[in-house]
Amino acid sequence: GDEEQAAGFTYTDAYRRDAQAWELASSDRPILDAFNSRFSSDQYGGLLALCAFLYRYLSPDAHRTLLLVIMSALMGALGVPFLWKAADLQWGEKAATASGWIFALYPESVLLGGVPMREPYLLAFSAFCLWGFVSLRAERHMRRSAAGNLPPETGRLLREERPRNDIFESDKKPLLWLALGIFGMLLVSPSVALVTLVILGGWMYFTSERGRFPWQAAVLLAVVFISGLFLLSSALDRGNLGGGGPLGVIQNFIRESLKWNAFKIEEGSGWVQKLFDEMPDWMQLPFVMLYGVLQPVLPAILIAPTTIVWKVIGILRALGWYAMLPALILAFWSGPGPGAESNRAERRIQKWLSLIVWAWILFTALRGGGDQWDNPRYRVILFLWQAILAGQVWVWRRETRWFGRVIAMEIVLVAVFAQWYLNRYLHLGGQLPFAWMVVLILAAWVLIAAWGVWRDRAYRV
């Protein structure tokens, strides 16, 4: 709205959180009151408590909003070195450099780094977890390799005695960073902590020998996961959602939020409402999901009338996402070539991360619907993993001709919808029915794919 924009905020949530943080900081109430349902600007309370703490102890005499902006920008930037170091250790310098630049310059994360939102903190905490996890596994792998190259008796002593004496000292720093990342997520957004535990748990499973999972790690993950589940359900229950226990509360929240966002899309757009009236009920949810994946819609932002500032911001956000889409689509097939067991493990990691990333993208598309602000904001929560996949695809792109073909498919999509928006807003050209637009796009995609397959076969011959 105009009020928050006049105050220098691009997000209403950030404006409200800032106001309530100052209200709490300037009162005589304890900081822990941020977790009280009285403060509705922060669903979980952790970020509000941190903002109030900063105001109370670093700026008690005046309401300096830039203090929270500086802290948010610092957290957004802090993830870059941790991501680079972890990616360099796991995938090599080229992939690490590409991932680091993508992570640092992605327009949506840059925009969020300029407001007191939870996403910059979650990105930093994700980078802490990644570095701690990768470093911990690398150190233990090096110890096992060293033990395997020593005489049998010496190797046995290293494997059996060292873990009892100084394994904690050796693993202390990685464990601390991993724990700090998980704790920060539980404080700011327990749901992201749960997703991160699923990512790391799957990583351990798919890279372990013969699918074996260390029972100590399984117990630790289970304890933290259950704790996060209760924290998440407790935070959601502040909205008076009914349900039988934590899972019931979370299930009700997801179901009601999906219904609400589908309703908002239909009510907020006349042409979407018209399409909903024409399509069968079973197609409405997939349509909402696809529409959400394409947000912010690049052709609409290029053509729809608005002020110059918002147009520039919108174009940069849309260009950033549409540049990411081909890389994320190709991420399922990129990675090291066939050969050694280590390469097979790397491919399993690649596919697992791709599966999680796309599951999250589709979920946030349903959760945020056609909202061009909330939808991309939810999506960027797992941007660390998206940047890793995109960086690997960027390194791998020279080994495949499909990189250019997928981009060509995307250009077709943008061009067809650009013509539709030109007719809608500027009355230029004719307007195809929506169904015919979909048929035209799919036909072009089939032709590009068929030509690509034919070219690949001809090249092999």
Instruction: Encode pLDDT of 44-57 as tens digits.
Output: 888 999 999 999 99
Instruction: Encode pLDDT of 126-184 as tens digits.
Output: 999 999 999 988 887 777 666 555 555 544 444 444 444 444 445 688 999 999 999 99
Best CA proximity match to 395, nearest among 326, 325, 347, 327: 327
DSSP 78-136: HHHHHHHHHHHHHH-HHHHHHHHHHHHH-HHHHHHTTTT-HHHHHHHHHHHHHHHHHHH
3-state helix, strand, coil in the chain (%, to 5): 80, 0, 20
Check pLDDT > 50 for residue 31.
yes
CB neighbour list of residue 348: distance below 8 Å, 6 or more residues apart:
206, 207
Give 62's pLDDT tier (boundaries 50, 70, 90).
very high
Between CA 67 and CA 350 the distance in angstroms is 39
At what angle are helices 66-91 and 383-396 packed, to 10 degrees? 40
pLDDT of residue 252: 58
pLDDT of residue 337: 47
For residues 222, 223, 226, 232, the Cα torsion angle rounded to the nearest 10 degrees is -120
140 in Cβ contact with 171 (< 8 Å): yes
Instruction: Encode pLDDT of 415-449 as tens digits.
Output: 999 998 998 888 888 888 888 999 999 999 999 99
For residues 457 and 249, which has the higher predicted lDDT (pLDDT)? 457
pLDDT of residue 255: 62
Mean pLDDT for 39-48 is 78
Instruction: Encode pLDDT of 72-102 as tens digits.
Output: 999 999 999 999 999 999 999 999 999 999 9
281 in Cβ contact with 262 (< 8 Å): no
> How high does pLDDT run on average in the chain?
83
Give 10's pLDDT tier (boundaries 50, 70, 90).
confident
Check pLDDT > 80 for residue 2.
no
Distance, CA of 238 to chain centre: 25
For residues 423 and 328, which has the higher predicted lDDT (pLDDT)? 328
Lowest-confidence region among 270-284, 331-345, 360-374, 390-404: 331-345
Q: How far apart are the first and last CA of the chain?
A: 61
Give 313's pLDDT tier (boundaries 50, 70, 90).
very high
pLDDT of residue 162: 46
Between CA 348 and CA 358 the distance in angstroms is 15
pLDDT of residue 246: 56
pLDDT of residue 211: 57
